[in-house]
């Protein structure tokens, strides 16, 4: 298997992030860690989305882990630049 085939199978239509809900759950997880304060506006109670992205909980938790790695990377870059 070539690297291109691996990427196609992993990130293609049958791989990870193959639906909008998976990508949205990941983005919510990253956003909650990188920007930890409460949202400025709450969701309206009658709001209906195209499915609940948090049903893809494993993508949400993976996004949170990537957010932590982003903060660690930012901290290391700041330390290298300032010291």
Pairwise CA distance, residues 62 & 67, whole Å: 9
For Cα atoms 7, 23, 42, give the angle at the middle one, nearest 5 degrees.
Answer: 170
What CA–CA distance (Å, rounded) separates 17 from 42? 26
Asked whether residue 74 is assigned to any structural domain, the reply reads: yes
pLDDT, residue 66, reads 92
Note the pLDDT of residue 15. 77
Question: Is residue 4 situated within a structural domain?
Answer: no
Residue 77 lies in a domain: yes
- Structural domain of 55: 20-37+50-83
pTM comes to 0.67
**pLDDT value for 51:** 62
Angle between helices 57-82 and 20-34 (to 10 degrees): 40
**Residue 45 within any structural domain of the chain:** no
- The answer to whether residue 61 sits within a structural domain is yes
Contact 59, 26 (CB under 8 A): yes
Decide if 42 is inside a domain: no
Domains: count for the chain: 1
Q: Is residue 8 part of a domain?
A: no
């Amino acid at each position: 298997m070539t690297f291109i085939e691996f990427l196609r199978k992993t990130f293609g239509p049958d791989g990870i992030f193959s639906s909008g809900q998976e990508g949205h759950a990941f983005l919510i997880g990253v956003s909650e860690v990188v920007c930890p304060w409460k949202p400025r506006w709450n969701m309206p109670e009658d709001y209906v989305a195209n499915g609940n992205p948090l049903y893809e909980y494993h993508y949400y938790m993976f996004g949170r882990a990537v957010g932590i790695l982003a903060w660690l990377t930012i901290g290391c870059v700041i330390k290298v630049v300032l010291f």
